[in-house]
């Protein structure tokens, strides 16, 4: 299945946070997506939840590691399975609150050909004036990163 964006979430336990993350994605995401969950050696309760969720949700793929390989290896496993022109790496403790957040990130990524990463803003109380729909920075926060395949 090829969709415009694969959302990759490495998971190592923290079940309640993971549930909140997944539910927030379902509630706020309008753009087509596939969720790739990487179970990084979670305990039985989390592993059972992820298995059940993936088995009853059409746009979810699950990779199970018997042991915790670390966030970077889990992220790379997800990226290796991503097929769309965009991929999002997201921490499992992230709760999305912005309606159509994914469509907005993709819109920024498509606005100029040299944009490779898009990071949502989460700690700004006042908008920064800009003639562009984004603010160029020299760093990204790792909780949620949209990556362009090109």
Place of tokens 């959302």: 7
- Which one has a higher pLDDT value, 143 or 127? 143
| CA-atom Rg of the chain in angstroms | 15
Average confidence (pLDDT) over 16-41: 95
Read off the pLDDT of residues 49-72 as tens digits, 9 standing for 90 and up. 999 999 998 899 999 999 999 999
Helix and strand element counts for the chain (H, E)? 4, 6
- Cβ atoms within 10 A of the Cβ of 48, count? 12
Q: How confident is the model at residue 87 (pLDDT cuts 50, 70, 90)?
A: very high
* pLDDT number for residue 1: 38
Count of domains forming the chain? 1
Read off the pLDDT of residues 29-48 as tens digits, 9 standing for 90 and up. 999 999 999 999 999 999 99
- Please provide residue 32's backbone torsions phi and psi, each rounded to the nearest 5 degrees: -60, 140
pTM for the model: 0.87
Q: How confident is the model at residue 122 (pLDDT cuts 50, 70, 90)?
A: low
**In this structure, what token pair is assigned to residue 36?**
């790739």
User: Residue 97: which domain range?
Assistant: 5-148
Distances (CA, A) of 55 to 35, 49, 87, 89: 12, 10, 22, 22
Distances (CA, A) of 145 to 82, 107, 121, 124: 14, 14, 11, 17
CATH for 87: 3.90.550.10
């Amino acid at each position: 299945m090829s969709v415009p964006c694969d959302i990759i979430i490495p998971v190592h336990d923290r079940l309640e946070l993971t549930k909140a993350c997944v539910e927030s994605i379902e509630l706020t995401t309008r753009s087509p997506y596939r969720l790739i969950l990487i179970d990084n050696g979670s305990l039985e309760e989390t592993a059972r939840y992820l298995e059940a969720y993936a088995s009853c949700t059409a746009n979810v793929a699950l990779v199970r590691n018997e042991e915790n390989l670390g966030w970077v290896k889990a992220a790379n496993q997800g990226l290796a399975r991503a097929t769309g022109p965009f991929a999002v790496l997201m921490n499992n403790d992230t709760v999305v609150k912005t309606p159509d957040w994914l469509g907005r990130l993709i819109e920024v990524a498509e606005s100029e050909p040299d944009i490779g990463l898009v990071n949502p803003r989460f700690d700004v109380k006042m908008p920064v004036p800009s003639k562009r729909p984004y603010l160029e920075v020299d760093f990204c926060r790792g909780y949620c990163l949209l990556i362009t395949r090109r």
